[in-house]
Amino acid sequence: MKITCEGEQEGGGLPLIGDTFPEVHVQTTRGKKVLPKDYEGKWFVLFSHPGDFTPVCTTEFVGFAKLNDEFKALNCELIGLSIDQIYAHIAWERWIEEHLGVAIPFPIIADNGRVATMLGMLHPKKGNNTVRAVFVVDAKGTIRLILYYPQEIGRKLDEIVRVVKALQTADAKRVAMPANWPDNELIGDRVIMPPPTDVEAANARLKDPTVECKDWWFCYKKLE
């Protein structure tokens, strides 16, 4: 999926899970960047917030800042975004550090509305404030997860760490994750194996001592 020089997406519509993240040139608190090009080889989480100097957003930024090292350990970078001027971002960062004792270690995009519009972050009844969107993008620039929260509700930030871990594990081990992984009420921290595609594979799986099954189509195992 591409964005033209004017910022319009070829073919129309919003980017979806499985699409390549559209190329965008942005101004951030850490200089100019090109997404996803500047993060090639790394995962990144792009998250929007309604506005600087607002209480819920402040709590989220403090939380993201404290989780920054966890994301980095997953080869994943954080990027904030709102439709505020770069000067407001800088002043807000300084306020958070001076008054709350937390330094913001990741860039914040100062958007003029173009990026927010192309990513579906704007609600027509909410003016120029973005909703709380989350885009998880993998090391190849592919969108792997999209979340949208209303302005009134702050995100559960541990969930965003969890989904990055889950996606990376699914890629590496070719497995799927149960609800609430790694704390599922039925199978604990085990991971789900893809369903077999023929009778022979189904029968073999039921005899595999490393695999546990509820039935031939519902099998799971410990991570190696």
What's the average pLDDT block by block, 10 residues per block, for the chain (224 residues)?
39 86 98 98 98 97 98 98 97 98 98 95 80 97 96 96 98 97 97 94 92 95 92
Domain boundaries, the chain: 24-156, 174-224
What topology does CATH give the domain 174-224? Antioxidant, Horf6; Chain A, domain 2 (3.30.1020)
Give the global pTM.
Answer: 0.91
Active site residue 57: yes
Do 24-156 and 174-224 have matching folds? Answer: no
Best CA proximity match to 63, nearest among 91, 94, 104, 121: 104
The active-site residue, picked from 57, 76, 213, 219, is: 57
Task: Tell me yes or no: is domain 24-156 CATH 3.40.640.10.
Answer: no
Cis omega (within 30 of 0) on the bond before 196?
Answer: no
Chain mean position to CA 68: 13
Question: What separation in angstroms does the CA of 50 have from each of 38, 62, 158?
Answer: 25, 15, 20
